[in-house]
Amino acid sequence: MTVRQLQSPRGPASLLVILCGCAIACLTFGPRATAGLLLTPISETNGWGRDVFALSFAIQNLLWGIGQPFAGAVADRFGTRRVLAAGGLLYAAGLALMPLSASPGAMHITAGAMIGLALSGASFSIVIGAFGKLLPPEWRTIGFGLGTAAGSLGQFLFTPFAAALISAYGWQATVLVFAALMLLVVPLSLPLATRAAQPGPSGPAASSQSIGQALGEAFRTPSYWLLVIGFFTCGFHLAFVTAHLPPFLLDKHISASVGGWTLALIGLFNIAGSLGSGVLSSRMAKRRLLAAIYFARAVLISAFVFLPVTPMSALAFGAGIGLLWLSTVPPTSGIVVTLFGPRYLTMLYGFVFFSHQLGSFAGVWLGGELYERTGSYDLVWQIAIALSVMSGLINLPIRERPVARLASAPAPAE
């Protein structure tokens, strides 16, 4: 973001859009980043194994992914403000009802289904779609990076906050505080309002396309499928680490406070990682950046699990994985808008994100299931490493060129 861009006629309006979008991303990402801190006290209160709340969190991730393309289509059709506000209200309701969920089924509904569907309407994916429509082209890449970094700021702020609240008042009061904070999404959504029939900057060819035509075009594009498949790994890593890293550290006789600070460091360092990824996405081939991120994850996870696990190694892992945490989002969303333009970005990114959430479901569910079966997380860590290598290879053949419909637009350098 340059001084000239800020002083342009669209600068102040763009800055307001970014600030409110980042605030929403921070608020909505924060509570779900504390799942690993909530897993143990919720399980102990209700006399459950780790697999019960892990399944609730897995359902949350799955329904978030299933609902995301539909929420994106509604946002593209009717505007983002209504979708964000409705998602924020449902999020608050799901959190507020968690203390009343004394059975596994009830917890699956509140912490799982309600919050999962709420996130599909109030998450940073909808914010990214709004950025793609409301921001001028020169602001988009940095906007994607800032929105992603804001989610990580939420993780950094909420994890020690949650640890302190749980210690002082219990997990029930903690989720009620979170529920009250989610109500702020409603007023923050006002500057992110978009028009249903707003033509995209790519011109008439983009604005005249129907939703069905946009989906057909995307599903016929091999590079889009490669992006969808590769993003599965990102979800697997994020959800597994978020939910199971604190219990994994407890098994290694490392205190819960270290687990909380490890998650906080992930959020803190991801601010730098996301912003750096946003800058790099505008200066190098995005597919190569994605491949490098996944290969780096494989190396880092291998070093963490195959070397002795100590409080210092846990904190170092948090810092390292934080740099790579959501740094996949700016190049991934950037490739989608490069391929198809911004008109249906929210919906098309939603389908990519659905793959991410399938990975999240697998990571959380397998973490709990395999732990209960084997008594350790070793196999899940090994799966995470293998998936990293696979996604690094899958992203390399992606072609970063607009589809034929947009062939008249200048293609980005590869």
22-51 per-residue burial string, b: 16 or more CB within 10 A, e: under 16: bbbbbbbbbbbbbbbbbbbbbbeeeebebb
User: Rounded to 10 degrees, what is the CA torsion of 46, 121, 357, 317?
Assistant: -80
Q: For 388-407, what is each residue's pLDDT tens digit?
A: 999 999 999 999 888 877 66
Is residue 359 within 8 A of residue 235, CB to CB? The reply is yes
Provide the 3-class DSSP secondary structure of residue 285: coil
The average pLDDT across 176-187 equals: 96
- Residue, of 106 and 148, whose pLDDT is higher: 106
Query: Quick one: tokens of 129?
Result: 């779609």
- pLDDT reported for residue 196: 54
Output the pLDDT for position 201. 45
Predicted pLDDT at 391 = 95
Query: Which pLDDT value is given to residue 409?
Result: 47
What's residue 330's pLDDT?
Answer: 85
pLDDT at 11 over 80: no
Cβ atoms of 312 and 99 within 8 Å: the answer is no
Give the pLDDT score at 62: 85
Average pLDDT of span 184-213: 69
Per-residue pLDDT tens digits for 331-341: 998 899 889 88
- Please, is 130 exposed, middle or buried when counting C-beta atoms within 10 Å of its C-beta (0-12, 13-18, 19+)? buried
pLDDT at 206 over 90: no
Q: Can you tell me the mean pLDDT for 77-96?
A: 92
Residue 298 pLDDT greater than 90, yes or no: yes
Percent of the chain with pLDDT over 90: 42
Calculate what percentage of the chain has a pLDDT beyond 70.
91
Query: What pLDDT does 389 receive?
Result: 97
- Of 98-107, 177-186, 404-413, the poorest mean pLDDT is in 404-413
Instruction: Give 9's contacts (C-beta < 8 A, 6+ positions apart).
Output: none
Backbone dihedral angles phi then psi of residue 253, each to the nearest 5 degrees: 65, 35
Q: If you average pLDDT over every residue of the chain, what do you get?
A: 85
* C-alpha dist (Å) from residue 26 to 23, 111, 129: 5, 19, 16
Q: What's the pLDDT tens digit per position in 185-196?
A: 999 999 888 765
Range in 21-25, 213-217, 300-304, 408-412 the model is least confident about: 408-412
**What is residue 10's predicted lDDT score, i.e. its pLDDT?**
54
Residue of higher predicted confidence among 102 and 292: 292
Instruction: Please write the tens of the pLDDT for every residue from 253-295.
Output: 998 788 888 988 888 898 888 888 888 887 889 999 999 999 9
Q: Pick 403 or 410 by higher pLDDT.
A: 403
* pTM, to two decimals: 0.74
Say whether pLDDT at 117 is over 50.
Answer: yes
Q: Averaged over 108-131, what is the pLDDT? A: 89
Q: Apex CA 204: angle with CA 202 and CA 210, to 5°?
A: 100
pLDDT in tens, 28-65: 988 988 887 888 899 899 998 878 888 898 899 889 88
